[in-house]
Structure 1
Amino acid sequence: MPKLDLNLLIALDVLLHERSVTAAARELGLSTSAMSRTLSRLRSATGDALLVPAGRAMVPTPHAQEIAGEVHALVGAAQKVLSSPPELDIRELQRDFTIRANAAFVFMHAARLSTMVMEAAPGVRLRFAAKPEKEIQSLRNATVDLEIGVISGDGAELRARTLFRDSFVGIVHSNHPLLEKTPVTVEDYVAWPHVVASRRGSFTGPIDDALARLGLTRAVNVVVPSFPSVIAVAAESDLIGLIPRSYCRAGLAAQTEMFELPVSTPEVTVSQIWHPRMDADPGHRWLRGLIFDAFRS
């Protein structure tokens, strides 16, 4: 294709509307001589005179009349493409959003978030998707709009905003002998078998690093895929579980008792995570703001 100067389209649209080189120059902030040169370039590009003198005025040629509507539409379309998105009317938004989160987050927060969305935007639907593993391709290809969790190191380009911070606590069934002495000592803690949650099937975690610094180890007898499973196992056995503190506040740990760990573990930062391709999307920005506000308190 020959190199095109799309600015000529704007000049042509104004010329055909004004039918005057002087008036078109004034509209575009150009000198009359510059506008005359632009008309010459347009005539050369189209192979048509476009505008010709008729007394004191100028009139369009048949070709100019034929293309005038198309030129105006093209300029309007270009202006629309290069303009900011229109202001979002959230009450009129019709859209589905997919949020990937673990089962406990859905149990604790899906009802509240769904109610907030329905009240603000009746045409918006939420789809909560399971999170079997930490992979970012779904965010990259937009099959997932938002991820709720801990950002991983392999998603350097992702955006994240903190929702809340969590910490780990121990959990046992309500009649466990460990509860007879409080606070729980590190020696008592490692004297009992343990159940841990790991999607990858790992038997160790940050608490084992803390114990190792004290020269101690614990016996992990069972690995399950989720924290709700830890609660279920601990409630029906003498195994000690390790779960986020928020699970206890949400009432997930019925028939169990939590206790403070005898060693410190790193705090967990739970964020909403998205791909930068969605940064400026009005609907996506609204949803991120709504979720952030839901956890701000």
Structure 2
Amino acid sequence: MRFHHLDLNLLVALDVLLEEQNITRAAERLHMTQSATSGVLGRLRTFFEDELLVQVGRKMQPTPYALELAKPVREVLLTIRSSITAKPVFDPASSKRHFRLITSDYLISVLFAQVIQRIHQEAPHITFEMLSPGDNSAELLMRGEIDLMIVPERYIIEGHPAQLLFEEEHVCVVWRDNALVGDSLTLEQYMQMGHISVGFGRNRHLSIEDWFMSQYGFNRRLEVITNDFNTLPQLLVGTQRVATMHRRLAELYAQYLPLRMLPPPVQIPVMREYMLWHRSMDGDPMHRWLRERISAFIQRLDRPAEAAEPAAAMA
């Protein structure tokens, strides 16, 4: 297909070239030879009357004009994918859709392990890929390379839809036989104790450390930093340390490990978990169905036990 003398297939190549900034890697993704990919770049340069990518040392660097093109090109391709090439038939029972989600291991444990079981009952051929949060999570969503991202409110991306899923509290958790801690914690005790925390990404974003710094002007005494939430309770057993955890995850592990939950010595703001998706997917029937199922399951979990629907049902 051509538009104003531009072969629209070249936009796919341009999108990959701007992302990879490397002829060899772009060729691999496009399933083309390096010489053919270089030829495509030449055609793009001729059409746009710009070098687009220039060699700087061993790397290729996008020109200012190429950087301006990157976002609209990606938006066009996403619109084509979601609106033009998408099948109009909506049938979860026969769908073989593959969904890519960014979510923490905490949410997989307390939510998605059960959500996927429920969804399999209605849509047995749907598959999932769960990706850990990272420094490039927002970029992946904005490029349309993931279907959903479930993150705290501060990570909402302007210009893309977001829906509040639930609110979460934090609790302090210690080993059940920790003789240094009674039924409550003072702030002084809390700050003197060794802490276990979670850090994500190259910059080691800590789960609640930023809030403590802004509120009190000092750091907790971090003795252990792990890279996922599920190891927090396991690392507490047999120690005198404390971890500040999501209540749902703490309650889950307290069923299996010798742990005690205590209220924090200070009021920690409620964490609001949001579901985010690229705006081009807003009207996609299967995508909307998945969002509704996730939201319905959360609502059922948050109802009082006596008002909840039978476990086998899903609203």
Query: What's the TM-score bracket when you normalise by the shorter of the two chains?
Result: 0.5 to 0.7
Of the structure 1 ranges 245-254 and 91-100, higher mean CA displacement relative to structure 2 is found in 245-254
**Which residue of the other structure, out of 266, 271, 281, is the alignment partner of 2:274?**
271
The residue type paired with residue 170 of structure 2 is F
Counterpart of 1:293?
Answer: 296
Distance 1:172 1:115 in 2: 31
* Mapping for residues 11-50 of structure 1, pairs under 5 Å: none
**Which residue of the other structure, out of 175, 178, 182, is the alignment partner of 2:177?**
175
**Cα distance 1:154–1:292, how it changes in 2: closer, same or farther (>3 A)?**
closer
**Which residue of the other structure, out of 207, 210, 215, is the alignment partner of 1:205?**
210
Counterpart of 2:189?
Answer: 188
The residue type paired with residue 131 of structure 1 is P
The residue type paired with residue 256 of structure 1 is L
The residue type paired with residue 195 of structure 1 is I
Counterpart of 1:99?
Answer: 101
The residue type paired with residue 189 of structure 1 is Y
The residue type paired with residue 283 of structure 2 is A
The residue type paired with residue 139 of structure 1 is L
**Cα distance 1:280–1:220, how it changes in 2: closer, same or farther (>3 A)?**
same
* Mapping for residues 60-139 of structure 1, pairs under 5 Å: 86=88, 88-133=90-135, 135-139=137-141
Distance 1:234 1:208 in 2: 23
Distance 2:225 2:205 in 1: 7
* Mapping for residues 148-163 of structure 1, pairs under 5 Å: 148-153=150-155, 155-163=157-165
**Cα distance 1:202–1:177, how it changes in 2: closer, same or farther (>3 A)?**
farther
Q: Deviations for 1:158-177, whole angstroms, at most 9, x for unmatched residues?
A: 21111111111111111112
Distance 2:105 2:189 in 1: 31
Distance 1:153 1:99 in 2: 15
Counterpart of 2:284?
Answer: 281
Counterpart of 1:143?
Answer: 145
Q: CA deviation at 1:229?
A: 2.8
Q: TM-score, normalised by structure 2?
A: 0.60
Distance 2:222 2:114 in 1: 36
Q: CA deviation at 1:260?
A: 0.3
Q: Does the CA-based 8 Å contact 1:173-1:236 persist in structure 2?
A: yes
Q: CA deviation at 1:255?
A: 1.9
The residue type paired with residue 112 of structure 1 is Q
Q: Does the CA-based 8 Å contact 1:207-1:263 persist in structure 2?
A: no
Gaps of 5+ in 2: 5-82, 301-315
**Cα distance 1:205–1:234, how it changes in 2: closer, same or farther (>3 A)?**
farther
Distance 1:205 1:108 in 2: 24
**Cα distance 1:294–1:153, how it changes in 2: closer, same or farther (>3 A)?**
closer
Q: Deviations for 1:136-182, whole angstroms, at most 9, x for unmatched residues?
A: 121223321111122445721221111111111111111112433x3
- SS at structure 1 position matched to 2:98: strand
Counterpart of 1:28?
Answer: none
**Cα distance 1:127–1:159, how it changes in 2: closer, same or farther (>3 A)?**
same
Q: Deviations for 1:40-75, whole angstroms, at most 9, x for unmatched residues?
A: xxxxxxxxxxxxxxxxxxxxxxxxxxxxxxxxxxxx
Distance 2:197 2:280 in 1: 36
Q: CA deviation at 1:290?
A: 0.7
Q: Does the CA-based 8 Å contact 2:156-2:274 persist in structure 1?
A: no
Counterpart of 2:34?
Answer: none
Q: CA deviation at 1:249?
A: 2.3
The residue type paired with residue 261 of structure 2 is M
Structure with greater Cα Rg: 1
Q: Deviations for 1:231-287, whole angstroms, at most 9, x for unmatched residues?
A: 222223212111111111223672221110110111111121111110011110111
Distance 1:219 1:288 in 2: 39
Distance 1:178 1:210 in 2: 26
- SS at structure 2 position matched to 1:246: helix
The residue type paired with residue 206 of structure 1 is W
**Which residue of the other structure, out of 247, 256, 261, is the alignment partner of 1:258?**
261
Distance 1:250 1:193 in 2: 23
Percentage identity across aligned positions? 19
Distance 2:105 2:98 in 1: 20
Q: CA deviation at 1:292?
A: 0.6
